[in-house]
Amino acid sequence: MGSDADPRRQIPRTDALLADDMLTAAAVTLGTAAVKAAVAAAQDRARRGELPPNAVLAAAQASVSQLLAASTSLRRVVNATGVVVHTNLGRAPLTDAAREALLAASGYVDVEFDIEQGRRARRGRGTLAALAAAVPPAEAVLVVNNAAAALVLMATALSRPGGISEIVVSRGELIEIGDGFRLPELLESTGTRLREVGTTNRTAAADYRAVLGERTAAVLKVHPSNYLVSGFTRSVSVRELAEVVREKQIPLVYDVGSGLLRPDPLLTDEPDVATALADGADLVIASGDKLLGGPQAGIIVGRKDIVERLRRHPLARALRVDKLTLAALEATLSRPETRVSAALHADPEFLRARTEALAAGVPAAGGEVVPHDGAVGGGGAPGLGLPGWALALPEAYAAPLRHGHPCIVTRVRAGRCLLDLRCVQPAEDAEISLRLSEIAATEIATTGAEH
Ligand SMILES: *Cc1c(COP(=O)(O)O)cnc(C)c1O
């Protein structure tokens, strides 16, 4: 390299690019620094071989127009990983109904106002009613910021007056929920002590029974949603636990994690909220943005007196959800066919046909349609593969797909870039096809990038 034939020598210089009329005009609105950064990023892409030198100006203009149009730094991503609840990509994508509801709620709304009577009304009553209707065994319902907030509120509100309270939990269920946050530390941050029972692989009803006492605030069962313990294992079912706590009148709380409201035949190992209540849990905690497919939220359902204790606790005010969440959650609950459930239950033959059409539309990319398992993700149903297909491309496609507009995130495995359409809306296939043709035309992807 380094000869005059090196295309990197042809990358336009910064001052030449900044002299462009469109970029000069944009600098007035965005500031020179932002425009310079866009120019530098486009030059870098060309240096890495992801862009031909003559496309640098257009790439800089494209990112600058995106900046001009956008009021958020969050960028739309096409999730072509096959991982449905992708934590790094914002977990659940909202339904169209939920997105419309967000927009409607963004102005003045009657979130806490009775239009009929002209006076204050219960905040978010429509959402709470929709949640109650979606989980018929629940006597009462409450929504807070996320499941972690629900756990903190539970541990705080149920603590026993005077002295230290204990929450009894199995050693096999002391999970880390991600990004370094651990359930035991979260609960203990409330001043409650965890009383661990059993071992990592085996816990019996007698282990719980032996430690219940005056200081016990609750027995907590946690669904270890992001890992599997297999082999010589034993855990205590909700039904058995309900028996254990009944004698002592101690609340049984079950954190099911995912937000699955009813059983799903595809997800046989995932607990659901309705069954947990029917089996005797007094309080069930779940996420709104995992398998429920809605906005981030902590769902709390169960016995009326306990839910009421949580709702009246001062901390509840600090953890309450805003009108946007309430609106999106209600819309999600009232239409059970979410994007999450569509992606989970996608017909493999339909995925195959779409993937083959994509491959056929861009022969220059030289992609091959291969079997590929999707995953539930987001710390749900570990070990469960969702049979499907992927377009296998040279690995060098991954970076330009990610850096373009829209940003397309794929899975890189064993030197290949795997593009899985499970979580891609069919209307987005054409955009992907276009990007693939653009990348194939630069030929960088087929000849191999430099890094
Ligand atoms: C994901 C998860 C949480 C945390 O939920 P957030 O809504 O992200 O706070 C808590 N418990 C379990 C079992 C989970 O799977």
Residue 5 burial by Cβ neighbours in a 10 Å radius (0-12, 13-18, 19+) = exposed
Q: What is the pLDDT of residues 44-56, one digit of tens each?
A: 999 988 888 999 9
Q: Report pLDDT for 176.
A: 84
pLDDT-wise least confident of 157-161, 329-333, 375-379, 429-433:
375-379
> How far from 407 is each of 99, 118, 410, CA to CA, in Å?
20, 47, 10
Q: Report pLDDT for 444.
A: 57
Q: What is the pLDDT of residues 246-301, one digit of tens each?
A: 989 999 999 999 999 999 999 998 999 999 999 999 999 999 999 999 999 999 99
Cα 182 to ligand 1 centre (Å): 10
d(C-alpha 418, C-alpha 373), whole Å: 11
pTM, two decimal places:
0.86
Q: Report pLDDT for 451.
A: 39
d(C-alpha 161, C-alpha 214), whole Å: 11
Q: Report pLDDT for 323.
A: 98
Please say if the pLDDT value at position 445 is more than 70.
no
> How far from 366 is each of 235, 326, 416, CA to CA, in Å?
50, 46, 12
Please say if the pLDDT value at position 196 is more than 70.
yes
Q: Report pLDDT for 1.
A: 45
Please say if the pLDDT value at position 379 is more than 80.
no
Best mutation site among 225, 272, 376 for ligand 1 pocket (most ligand atoms within 8 Å of CB) = 225
Q: Which two tokens stand for residue 293?
A: 């497919």
> How far from 323 is each of 111, 115, 288, 299, 328, CA to CA, in Å?
7, 16, 15, 15, 9
Q: Kindly report the protein residue whose alpha carbon is nearest to atom 13 of ligand 1.
A: 257
Q: Report pLDDT for 307.
A: 98
- pLDDT > 70: what percent of the chain? 97
Please say if the pLDDT value at position 206 is more than 60.
yes
Q: What is the pLDDT of residues 88-102, one digit of tens each?
A: 999 999 999 999 999
* Mean pLDDT rounded to a whole number for the chain: 92
Cα 149 to ligand 1 centre (Å): 9
Best mutation site among 145, 153, 154, 177 for ligand 1 pocket (most ligand atoms within 8 Å of CB) = 177
Q: How confident is the model at residue 450 (pLDDT cuts 50, 70, 90)?
A: very low
Cα 185 to ligand 1 centre (Å): 14
Cα 137 to ligand 1 centre (Å): 22
Q: What is the pLDDT of residues 105-140, one digit of tens each?
A: 999 999 999 999 999 999 999 999 999 999 999 999
d(C-alpha 177, C-alpha 335), whole Å: 28
Q: What is the pLDDT of residues 15-46, one digit of tens each?
A: 999 999 999 988 888 888 889 999 999 999 99
Please say if the pLDDT value at position 60 is more than 60.
yes
Bridge-based pairing state of the strands 140-144 and 77-79:
unpaired
- Where are the alpha helices (H) located in 32-171, listed in sequence order? 32-47, 56-69, 96-105, 125-134, 147-157
